[in-house]
Structure formats: structure tokens, C-alpha cells
Amino acid sequence: MDDGVDVTELSDEFADYHGELVPFRAELAWSRLLNPPTLRGLAALVGGLVFLFSDQSTTALSLILAIVLVVWAVSEFSAPTAEGRVQRLTTALLLAGIGVALLVWPDVTGRIISRLLGGAIIFVGARDLYRAIRRDDDHVHVWGVIRGLFQVAVGIALWVAPATMLSLVITLFAGFWIITGIATAVGNFTGMAEDDVDVTDVWYRIFRWLEQRPHTADDRSQLYGKIFYEGAMAARRLSRFFLLMGFATTIAAFGIISDSTAVVIGAMLVAPLMTPLMGTSLSLTMGWPKRAAMSAGVALGGVALAIGLSAVYGGTLAWGIDPVTNSQVASRVAPTLIDLIIAIAAGGAGAFALSRPDVSDALPGVAVAIALVPPLAVVGLMLEARQFSEAFGALMLFTTNMVAILLVGALVFLLTGVVPVAKLVSERVWIRNTTTLIGILAIVVLVVLGSTSERIRAQSFDRDNVAEVVDSWIGDRSLNLVSYTVAPDQVELVLVGGDRPDDTEDLDAALDTELQRNVTTVVRWVPEERFVVNGD
């Protein structure tokens, strides 16, 4: 290689499984279509689809959660170790109490279910944190602390954004059984496996398949040379990176100022920030702390350059930007779960394109989809304009994209054979700790995005309800609702018509009942006069 990292000393790390691959037989194994393992796989597939697309009743959810909590309580109570016996007993009683309450609670709602589960997980996480810090040997147990933080973060997420997190849990649960069912049925029906594949061992077979992926040391060395800033050309590649970051930030900042979508897309294509983030993701999965620190440092340097340079442009040129009317700003200051889904797909596509030279032409499209530099430019411009709320929203959008690259990129690198499975075993402690810490950051992102999504959904729901109530109140009167705004404590209506809306007490009461809170109703009436001009 002319450029990149010297990999001659790392050839042993690139080694992977070299045994015979599982043969693929093209013929269909019709004899296995109705055997018990295949039927169980189809049942898992159908059950997952039904659970995913049907309207899950709170009764069924509370029953499932109650069973899980009771089993969890029994496992805590029957633990053989005497360590923390009082804490375990307290935890068991709490979990069992919540489980029994869900069984006998007739009118439980999904929000209450989510918050009860969140409270239980927060308690368990706090207990694990305490036990990890207050060990008898006077040493802090690092994994215990990380695990406790992760549990607390999950519990807080279930409490703060109950609808979003409960929906996510349902989706993951259903997705697990859908994937299991498909893998089981396909494995049996196509004859890919010599013996029957059952739902109980399908994930073990998937792991074995990962060990048998064809990926040579040369393929890995070429990829590592692309994304790591090491070797004789490291200084030149770093200067190239920061120069491109400066160009991309300049293009993005002025594209946002001029509210030009085409210019902002140009900045996405020039920006090189995805490379060090992918390097960080790969280093975390391979167990390389020095390379992870180097790649993360390069990425943070690029982030600081983008924010600082954008702030300088905004302050020096004194361009007034309205975050409401400027579409480039407005589209990046209120990220939702939709942005997370886009980031997950784009991060996976970026990792796949890097790991496969034959699809590297797809990288420009990935760069457009994941949009790393424009949100940072919005952060700098909004900070300079003292619009701190909008700056935080844009920073959350960038964080969403970054977390998606780190987590999904690591998964794709594993699935495509870039990461030898042996590394997951030899470096499991490092990988477990670092990925869990990133998982905590991902949960924080989920809480923020979930809260934003729920707020937007609630506002849309309120607007629809207000329109229905006002239309019903108007009835046959000569009035038309031309516009209205709904705030947490106030509803403002603009009515046009010939009838003066004097009696608004019934409207006030109806809006309070429909919105389930006390609101102040402000009615603005524009009288309408109609006359006919007869011409001779």
C-alpha cells in the first residue's frame, strides 16, 4: 500500500477461521417442511408478526411483564450467594410486588406499565452500582459500575419516554422471534444444514456461521489502511482530513445561511468525518484502545473545527438566521426517532461499503444520508446567535448519527467478516465495557428523541381534538375556523363569520375535557359581511 497503516506486524491479528464452509445445497428439503423444528420456527415467525403488527392490549402486556417480574424475583430470592442478602430480598419483594400489582390492576395503561418496569430497573441498577463501589476488597468493580449505569439509564428511559421505549421493547421482542423463525424455517426447508435446525439452537448456528465467513488478511489490511491514521503517511492524511473538514464546514455554513439544499448536499459529499468514526467503531470491536483513542481524537478535532469555524462565520458576517423560517436549520434542530432510523440504516450502509471494495461507490450516497457536518454547522451558527435550544437540538442530531455509526458499524464489521470472531473472545472484557458505555449514550439519545417524538405526537393529537371540538361547538352557526394554535396551557382560535361567538363557556369546558387539562381559550373573531352588487 502507498498510504495508510503498516500492517506487517499485525498479520496474526488478521487471521480468522480457515475451515471448510458450510455447503449450500440448492435443492429444497420438502421432507423437512412439516417436521416439528420447522413448524416451531414458523410458529415463532407468525407469533412475532402478530405481536408486532397487532394492537397489543395492555392486559396482555401486563400479564407478560408480571410473569417476567415474578420469575426475576424468584431468581433474586433463590440466589445461592450470601453476598448482599438483604438487598436481594428487598429487590425480590419489590419485583414480586410490582408483578402482583400488574396482575390485579384492571385498568392499567401502557404508560403505567412502562414506568413501573422503569422504576424496577432503576432500583436494581442503583443496587448494582452501590455493590460495585462498596466492595469488601476496597476495589471498584468496573463492569459492575458500567452495568449499573446501563440499567439506570434504561430505567430512566422507560420512565421519561414510556410510550417510545415500550414500543421499542415490543419491536425488539417481536423482531427476535421473527428472525429466529425465518432462520429456522429457511435452514430446514432449503437443506442448508445437515440436521434439523430448531428455534433453541438457531442463534448458536448463526454464531458458528460468523466464524466461517470468508475474509482474508489482505482484505482486512486494506480496510485498516483506509480508516486508521498511522504509518509514514499519517501526517499527510491528517492534514488532508482537517483541510477537507474546513472546506466542508465552509460549504455547509454558507449553504445553511443561504437556505440552499443543493449547497448543503455538496458539504455532505466533501466531509471526511465518517472515516475516523468508522475507525473508532472498528477499534472498539477489535479491542484496540490506542487506535480507538487516536480515531476518536481525530473525530473530536474535526467536530471542534466544524463548530468553531461555523461560529466564526456567523459572528463575522453577522447574517441573521431565523431558525423557524430557515428550512436548513428547522430540519435539524428537532430530531426524532425517524432520524435515528435513518442514521442506523446509513451507518450500516457505510460500514458495509467500506468493508466491501466492490460497493465502495455507494459511499457518496451514504454521506448524503447520514449528514454529519451540516448539524455541526448549525450548532456553531446557533451558538453564535445565542439560540441555545436550537444548538442543542442540532447537536443531538449529530450525536444520533455518531452513535449509529459506532454501534451499527461494529455489528456490520462483525457480520461481514472484517472482525475475526476470535477477537471477540480474546478481547471480550474491553469490548463489553466500551460497547456498554456507548449503549448508555445510545439510551440517552433514545430518551431525548423519544421525548421529542412523543411531544410532537401529543401536539398533533391535541390539534386534531381541538379541531373536532370547535367544529362540533360551531354547529350551524355562520362561523368558520380559519386557524388555531395549541399550547400546553392555552388554545387560541381565529373564527370568521357573521355570528358573534359570545357564549364560549361550553367551548371552554369541552376543550378542558378533551385535552384532559385546564387551558385558557382565546377566541379572535373576524366579522364577515356579505353584500351583493347589482350592475345595470
Within a domain: 15: no
Cβ–Cβ < 8 Å for 292, 283: yes
Range of the domain at 76: 22-207
Q: Are residues 184 and 38 in the same domain?
A: yes
The mean pLDDT of the chain is 75
Q: Are residues 332 and 416 in the same domain?
A: yes
Residue 233: per-residue pLDDT: 77
Q: What is the pLDDT of residues 143-195, one digit of tens each?
A: 777 778 888 888 888 888 777 777 777 777 777 777 777 777 766 665 555 55
Residue 308: per-residue pLDDT: 93
Q: Are residues 241 and 259 in the same domain?
A: yes
Q: Are residues 373 and 248 in the same domain?
A: yes
pLDDT band at 474 (very low <50, low <70, confident <90, very high): confident
Q: Which of 39-48, 92-101, 396-405 has the lowest mean pLDDT?
A: 39-48
Q: Are residues 236 and 188 in the same domain?
A: no
Q: What is the pLDDT of residues 270-301, one digit of tens each?
A: 888 888 888 898 888 888 888 889 999 999 99
Within a domain: 65: yes
**287 phi-psi bin (left φ>0, alpha ψ -120 to 50, beta other):** left
Give the C-alpha separation, 92 to 79, whole Å: 10
Within a domain: 147: yes
Within a domain: 302: yes
Q: Are residues 183 and 37 in the same domain?
A: yes
CATH number at residue 353: 1.20.1080
* Helices marked H in 385-427: 388-415, 421-426
Give bridge partners of residue 522 from the DSSP assignment: 492
Within a domain: 438: no
* Torsion angle (degrees, nearest 10) of CA 73, 77, 81, 82: 130
Residue 426: per-residue pLDDT: 76
Q: Are residues 399 and 505 in the same domain?
A: no
